[in-house]
Amino acid sequence: MALQEKLDRFKKQQEKCQSTLTSIVNRAGATRTPSKPMPLNNPPANARPPVPVKFSNDTERLQHINSIRKAPVGAQMKRVIDLLLETRQALTPEQINEACYVDMNANKAVFDSLAKNPKVHYDGMRFSYKSKHDLKDKNQLLYLIRKFPEGIAVIDLKDAYPTVMEDLQALKGGGQIWLLSNFDSQEDIAYPNDPKVPIKVDDELKQLFRGIELPRDMLDIEKDLQKNGMKPATDTPKRRAAAQVQGISSKPKQKKKKHEISKRTKLTNVHLPELFQNLSSS
């Protein structure tokens, strides 16, 4: 009985060893099996083909940048000022270079000229646009115009803020200001419509300036301004005189009298009496 137990135990050990050897062989075979190489350059089936790089576009851009940086100082300054006017933002030289390709750090003449330009404000780090009058809205615009009873040029206002021209027309339409043309410079002048000053429309000036609204008592207003020590921006007498010189007159032209044949007219075709039956008496 003890011998049989020993034999059974020996068989179990043999089976255990056999299974261990089999598993070892199987693992060794698996490590020796070569794996299939993964495709490295094969794109997925739904992938788009790469777009070829066009070097011509990049070349044109570089040529454009090079032409800007080789332009005269004045042309580069205008480019920067136009950028500042359009954006209304304070920009560093690096931001300006990215936006309009003017490399101010590499061009000292452009940098120094812009820093001293009256249309540009430089705080030591950034450049920004500087208008003649610091205005933000229509109320500030009206307040400024009322401070100039002798008139203020519209050209000094049009860059104050983006919608200033629309606000000027709105103030004119609301009867709060007048927009008149200066004869000397052909520029518009903004006048405050002060309720204390009676303003009417002159038919003569309407005819001369073809529908432009002008005060009838403009000449009196100019005299009052001069009495108060202020120089008006318009000159009505000079404007009227120049209009007369240019041939603009309110008097209608006289029609030339039609020449009629009378008995005093020297006749050459006397042999055709039927032509002279309707002669007017002399």
Question: Domain for residue 1, yes or no?
Answer: no
Taking only the tens place, the pLDDT of each residue in 191-220 is 998 666 444 444 444 444 444 444 445 556
Q: Are residues 118 and 78 in the same domain?
A: yes
pTM of the model: 0.49
Q: Are residues 122 and 85 in the same domain?
A: yes
User: What pLDDT, on a 0 to 100 scale, did the predictor assign at position 22?
Assistant: 77
172 confidence band (pLDDT: 50, 70, 90): very high
User: What pLDDT, on a 0 to 100 scale, did the predictor assign at position 23?
Assistant: 75
Question: Domain for residue 47, yes or no?
Answer: no
Question: Domain for residue 9, yes or no?
Answer: no
Taking only the tens place, the pLDDT of each residue in 219-231 is 566 666 666 566 6
**Boundary residue ending a domain (111, 129, 147):** 129
State which residues form the domain around 98: 65-129
Q: Are residues 145 and 182 in the same domain?
A: yes
Q: Are residues 101 and 75 in the same domain?
A: yes
Q: Are residues 73 and 108 in the same domain?
A: yes
List the beta bridge partners of residue 179: 190
Residues 16-25 have a mean pLDDT of 74
Taking only the tens place, the pLDDT of each residue in 56-87 is 567 888 899 999 999 999 999 999 999 999 99
In percent, how much of the chain has pLDDT > 90? 40
Average pLDDT, the chain: 75
By the 10 Å C-beta count (0-12 exposed, 13-18 middle, 19+ buried), 118 is classed as exposed
The CATH number of residue 108's host domain is: 1.10.10.10
**Boundary residue ending a domain (98, 129, 160):** 129
Question: Domain for residue 213, yes or no?
Answer: yes
Q: Are residues 124 and 142 in the same domain?
A: no
Question: Domain for residue 175, yes or no?
Answer: yes
Q: Are residues 70 and 116 in the same domain?
A: yes
Question: Domain for residue 115, yes or no?
Answer: yes
CB-CB contact of 133 with 142 (8 Å): no
Q: Pick 30 or 9 by higher pLDDT.
A: 9
Q: How many independent structural domains does the chain possess?
A: 3
The CATH number of residue 168's host domain is: 1.10.10
**Boundary residue ending a domain (109, 129, 149):** 129
Question: Domain for residue 80, yes or no?
Answer: yes
Question: Domain for residue 31, yes or no?
Answer: no
Q: Are residues 125 and 144 in the same domain?
A: no
Q: Are residues 146 and 170 in the same domain?
A: yes
